[in-house]
Amino acid sequence: MSTENGAREENSGRSLFETKAAEGGSVAAAYKVFAFTVLVSIVLIWLYRLTYIPGVGEPGRWVWIGMFVSELLFGFYWIITQSARWNVVQRIPFKDRLSLRYEDKLPDVDIFICTADHVVEPPIMVIDTVLSAMSYNYPPEKLSIYLSDDGGSEFTFYALLEVSDFAKYWLPFCKKFKLEPRAPAVYFKRNILDSHDLVLAQEESKVKKLYEDMASRIETVVEEGGIPKEIKEKHKGFSEWNSLIARNDHQSIVQILIDRRNPNSVDIDGHQLPTLVYLSREKRPQRPHHFKAGSMNALIRVSSKISNAPIILNLDCDMYSNDSDALRDSLCFFMDEKQGHRTSYVQYPQRYHNITKHDIYSSVARVVHQMGLVYGCPVEDIVTGLAIQCRGWRPIYHNPSRYAFLGIAATTLDQSLVQSKRWSEGMFQIFLSKYCPFIYGHGKIKLGAQMGYCIYLLWAPISLGTLCYAVAPSLCLLHGIRIFPEVSSLWFLPFAYVFVAKYAYGLAEALSCGDTLKSWWNSQRIWLFRRTTAYFLAFIDTVIRQLGLSQTTFVLTPKVVDDDVMKRYENEILEFGSSSIMFTIIATIALLNLFSFLLGIRRVVLATESSRAFQQFIPPIILSGLLIMINIPVYQALFFRTDKGRMPSSVLWKSVMIVSLASLMPIY
């Protein structure tokens, strides 16, 4: 006892977490020098554009102006991005100190999990997330898990009912053998029975059989399209679903499936189980439901009547807990005696468990918030985070070595682009609203923090510059119009330096973070695709919405795909396969640069003054060549592939027609 008391006394004055610079002083100083040289080059590019702008009536004047505006956008956006690189820190929590000091005083925690469609987000996937949350290394009598089902599906309710029984076996199994991860489908897929531990092997085999039986029952019910009568009679909750219920027109449904206040709510070892609650909030056609923000606020209202915990963890339904100690890590930031009273929420970077070796869709752009929510846009978590920060609270960003949460990344290009469009559209709406960080945050948060928010809020408008750079130089190359300085000119140096510096630094940063060379190259391709399609269309839709000509919509991205698509994804083959307008844009840019590159080479070879022609057109030829290399998978999908993931012929013909018309149009 004296040893324990001594440890407590020694621990009492020590912080529960440490904040330190992510890089050494010399590295940070070197980066600042590098950034300064890039800034000087950017200013020189602007000066060149202003100095040599073509006169009125000269060919290429408006293209020149468009390039100048694009370079202004790129330059200012680059300056904004420096807010995230200038003073990078990392935080290290000490959960052992937390346990010594506060084990008997740990706060209650409410865990919110949101789902919206049992078809797009299958119940079998949702319950894995629920079970991982129920299995935290945390006192179960202080845990409450709430599932918000915005689809109002009896299949999801049935799956949660099955969980309430299976949890009696899964939780003690996890805690007895200290298993990781604690999402059963992921655990059983990753782990092979350990023949050296007979007790573990026997129990694992038994629990695995229980899980597979449960999963089979859930999948059978979903496939048959109805809950059998004998199952409905076993739980009164099914009476909520009748012939009058519709997805967007039903009463509020709240069912407590496990109540920790009930002494009989125990597992097979007699230990308390966490509270488990199903919620489907009331929906009426004539009332706005505010998407996920409405769902979260409904959860807050319901939980306040049941558990009313001071700490809330918010999870997407496809994002299981990968670390059973993640809650304790987070609490180190909230319960630290000196700084915890200022902490508003903890952010974790979102990671994915189904990323391919070289991350074909560059899925690693996003932060998850733990934190009612502000209405008005599809990315309400960002608005809420900003509002909280502007009230004087401090957010914490924590990026642990063991990923705390793992979700499901998009497995097709269409899914990835649709998701990116939704995010960028919502974020640009914030920038144009009263919540613009430069306005709402003025005088409340530091300028660096305002700029940090705008890195994401400006995804949509920055697409205009990228689209201009992907199209205008190619068109000018086709028409023989110069828009870059000659290679022998000193003005060429800042263009070359910014180009090389951007790619060299990006590559070095990616490799230092553990990426492969191929994954970095894939990210360059997806960066181009997103900016010229998803972000550009998001910009257009946001402008239309600001003019009052449309309303905000929320599009779910499917979490399941067929076997052929999954096989191509695992083999890192880009999935097209539809006549999406986004694919038409991608194909058009790829073909335009291919044609302009070939014609540019011909122009240089056949030119009378070959030396001058070479110097004049080598920059756009290099740019087109780079875009051709990036778009090699697009050419394969257009001309060579025969699988269902190829580009449809309709996309090819539309793209050829657009390129032909663009080539014939005069350049002003």
105 in Cβ contact with 196 (< 8 Å): no
Which residues sit in the known binding site? 121, 150, 292, 316
128, 318, 359, 381: the catalytic one is 381
Between the CA atoms of 450, 453, 454 and 457, what dihedral angle is there, to the nearest 10 degrees?
A: -150
Catalytic one among 150, 329, 515, 541?
150
Angle formed at CA 399 by CA 398 and CA 404, multiple of 5 degrees: 95
Beta carbons within 10 angstroms of residue 263's beta carbon? 8
Determine phi and psi for 658, rounding to 5 degrees: -65, -45
- Residue numbers belonging to the annotated binding site for Mn(2+): 292, 316
In the block, residue with structure tokens 């621990």:
11
What single-letter DSSP state applies at residue 74? H
> Within 10 Å of residue 524's Cβ, how many Cβ atoms?
17
> Is 318 a catalytic site residue?
no
- Helix, strand, or coil (residue 505): helix
| Per-residue three-class SS string for 145-208 | EEEEECCCCHHHHHHHHHHHHHHHHHHHHHHHHCCCCCCHHHHHHHCCCCCCCHHHHHHHHHHH
CA distance 220 to 225: 9
* Rounded Cα distance, 507 and 509, in Å: 5
Residue 343 CA to residue 180 CA, distance in Å, equals 28
Q: Which amino acid is at 418?
A: V
Give per-residue burial for 584-607: e unless 16+ CB within 10 Å, then b.
Answer: bbbbbbbbbbbbbbebbeebbeee
Residue type, 171: L
Task: DSSP letter for 101, please.
Answer: H
Q: Which two tokens stand for residue 314?
A: 């918010």
Which are the contacts of 57, defined by CB distance < 8 A and separation ≥ 6? none
Q: Locate all alpha helices (DSSP H) within 227-310, ordered by sequence.
A: 229-232, 291-306
| Nearest CA-CA partner of 403 in 482, 322, 479 | 322
Q: Which residues have CB under 8 Å from 602's CB, separation 6+? A: none
Distance, CA of 485 to CA of 498 (rounded, Å): 14
- What's the gap between Cα 571 and its chain centre? 22
Cα distance from N-terminal residue to C-terminal residue, the chain: 85
Q: Is 323 a catalytic residue?
A: no
Pairing of strands 89-93, 17-21: antiparallel
3-state helix, strand, coil in the chain (%, to 5): 55, 10, 35
Q: Which residues, at least 6 apart from 270, have a Cβ–Cβ distance to it below 8 Å?
A: none
Q: Which two tokens stand for residue 235?
A: 């739980």
**Residue set of the binding site for UDP-alpha-D-glucose:** 121, 150
- Nearest Cα neighbor of 119 from 233, 238, 247 is 247
Annotated catalytic sites, by residue? 150, 381
